[in-house]
Amino acid sequence: MKRIFCKYGLGAADVFAALCAAFTAASLLFAACGDFTDLNYVRQSSVLPSALIFAAVFALLTVLSCRLKTKRIIAWSLLLLSLAFSVVLVSQHSGDIFFNLGIAAVLIPVVKYATDGDKTGLSQIKISRRAAGFITAGMFVLYAAAVFVCTAAKYKSYSHATYDFGIFAQMFEQMAKTGLPTTTVERAGSVSHFAVHFSPIFYLLLPGYYLFRSPLYLLGAQAVITGLGVFPLRRICRTLGLSEKVSLAAAAVYLLFPTMANGAFYDFHENKFLSVLILYALWFILENKRAGAAVFCALVLFVKEDAFIYVLAIALWMLFTKRDRVFALILAVASVGYFFIACRIIMLCGGEIMTGRFDNLYSGDGGLADVIKTCFLDVGYLIKEVFSGADTESFRELTYSGQKLEFVLWTGVPLLFLPFAHKKGANFLLLVPLLIINLVPAWMYQFNVDYQYTYGTAALMIFSAFLCLSSWKPENRRFAVVSMLVLCTVFTVSLTLPKAERYLTKYSEHSEEYAETDRALETIPRDASVTAYGFIMPHLSYIDELHTCPDYYGEYEKTDYYVVDTRYEGDEHTKKMYEAMDDDYTLEVQSGYVKIYKLKGAS
């Protein structure tokens, strides 16, 4: 038998790969038909059908490979079947980083076999710049459409809450009416959002909001903005001397990166601008185009007061890698100066910068100076907080040892930890935001891949990974790129598929109830004052005097209307609403998922 296989160019490794592909095919069929996490799956399965499928697939692969005298059939079959099997497995056991690591440990040798010696023939595939451009545009459209449909289903199913989607929905409505970013739900009373975060970047979306006057516009814009990063990244790869194929693969890695689509499910935030702006700034820097780099670095600063750290990191990277040091020094000084200006504007608007997210580093009265003092005087404590962050209470949340490690694994493994594999130490400066924004704070959402604090660091990590790859040999680069594509796919499915299924199913199964809820809310006069439950509030964002439940910053007032979400009729927040209403309200409308109460005597 060995002589027969050898006669047709198949070695022992190829035969073993065919056996693995056949086993994967049989496993895939049964995994798709049952829940592998329950041992009843094994008890109810029959060995004979699995054995027949195994034998048939192995025979088919080996016969075709021998007849055609090629290893590509086995290589592609093993790679694609393994990927499909992995996707099925993680979709049934989602969100578990360690299960994903187990899958990755199996996939990496599979990719190694498929790419070693170019068994898949990837080196012979030619892609023109024009074709790569069209494919990139197509991937971008598919990504933006998929993200928008899923997040729109979340909105239409009344699953977006006041914190944080409702805040921005009302803020944009007020911007359209008055030009000012005011809200009545973010803090107690009417306040400028700039008292919380200084984000003038929002005004770039205001013209579109005039055309599409709906909170859905924000979700659509967000899907487009996060996806746009594929275009500067592809240009960056070409500037680094990478081929059109690798540049196209980089675009796919960006869209499939675990935090990219996953973070979009958590409402709407200014942080989502960071990826595309940072990547355009980096492309202009690589091209030595100061004007373009200056414009996009300024736009990064306009995202948020703490966004200066991304520009500062890029400037330091430029300084130490000897890239236009004069311009880099200007960027560094300008970014720090802008931070203090933005902080001053926040205070002038009646707020203060949110240094409380670093309260795990407070050694005295708190504040930024206290954080810096701790970092310099107690490095041991800083290391403990970065790598464990255990038992630190912050913002009513408790972080636990291991969560920061999980964050690093979710973001580092799909990139094969290439951002940490540079030979030049100066390139590690690109990871400064990962340290400061995600790993140092005790605010648990900043090191959680489900939230918005990943977009800036994701852009820098992806850029850093392909910067590292640009110095690799083609054979090693092929293995790395295919591995990243495979792992990003698996990790992203694990994180996003359950959310997408939940909201799409939720909306499709109860669409009539949601439509009835919409009609009920339309009966409330637009000039009335309203207190609404958190999941109802975003759908009333056009109300000027709007209050929310729960309200973490003020007491409940006697507004013209109270809107109760009947899905949460018995929870503590709804009970507080009824306590605030007392006997002063009458039930006006009950339809869909809402009860609308009107203040007695209100016009």
Instruction: Give pLDDT tens digits for 474-518.
Output: 889 999 999 999 999 999 999 999 999 999 999 999 999 999 999
Report H helices in 72-214. 72-92, 97-115, 129-156, 167-178, 206-211
What is the predicted pLDDT for the residue at 66? 83
Rounded to 5 degrees, φ, ψ at 547 are: -125, 160
Task: Decide if pLDDT at 402 tops 80.
Answer: no
pTM score, whole prediction: 0.93
- Least confident range of 275-279, 344-348, 369-373: 369-373
Beta bridge partner(s), residue 530: 546, 561
Cβ atoms of residues 277 and 261 within 8 Å: no
Determine the average pLDDT of the residues in 186-195: 91
What is the predicted pLDDT for the residue at 391? 45
Residues 541, 401: Cα–Cα separation, whole Å: 39
Task: Decide if pLDDT at 175 tops 80.
Answer: yes
| Cis status of the peptide bond prior to 518, with omega within 30 of 0 | no
What is the predicted pLDDT for the residue at 392? 45
**Chain-wide mean pLDDT for the chain?**
90
Cβ atoms of residues 270 and 167 within 8 Å: no
Per-residue H/E/C for 275-339: HHHHHHHHHHHHCCCHHHHHHHHHHHHCCCHHHHHHHHHHHHHHHHCCCCHHHHHHHHHHHHHHH
Report H helices in 157-229. 167-178, 206-211, 215-227
Residues 397, 124: Cα–Cα separation, whole Å: 53
Cα separations in angstroms, 86 against 74, 116, 126, 359, 487: 18, 21, 29, 40, 10
Count of CB atoms within 10 A of residue 26's CB?
Answer: 22
Structure tokens at 328: 């880099």
Residues 108, 97: Cα–Cα separation, whole Å: 16
**Residue 377 amino acid letter:** L
Give the pLDDT confidence of 380-397 residue by residue, as tens digits: 777 777 776 544 444 434
How much of the chain, in percent, has pLDDT values that exceed 70?
90
Residues 123, 412: Cα–Cα separation, whole Å: 26
Closest among 436, 313, 450, 461 to 375, alpha carbons compared: 436
Determine the average pLDDT of the residues in 359-380: 68
Task: Decide if pLDDT at 111 tops 60.
Answer: yes
Give the pLDDT confidence of 216-238 residue by residue, as tens digits: 999 999 999 999 999 999 999 99
Q: How confident is the model at residue 370 (pLDDT cuts 50, 70, 90)?
A: low
Determine the average pLDDT of the residues in 590-601: 95
- Residue 185: CA count within 13 A, CB half-sphere: 35
- Residue 9 or residue 392, greater confidence: 9
Cβ atoms of residues 99 and 93 within 8 Å: yes
What is the predicted pLDDT for the residue at 33? 67
Give the pLDDT confidence of 540-592 residue by residue, as tens digits: 999 999 999 998 888 898 999 999 999 999 899 999 999 999 999 999 999 99
Rounded to 5 degrees, φ, ψ at 361 are: -105, 5
Torsion of CA 129, 135, 141, 145, to 10 degrees: -160
Determine the average pLDDT of the residues in 128-146: 96
- Least confident range of 249-258, 317-326, 397-406, 529-538: 397-406
What is the predicted pLDDT for the residue at 588? 94
- Residue 359 or residue 435, greater confidence: 435
Give the pLDDT confidence of 28-53 residue by residue, as tens digits: 887 766 666 666 666 666 777 788 88
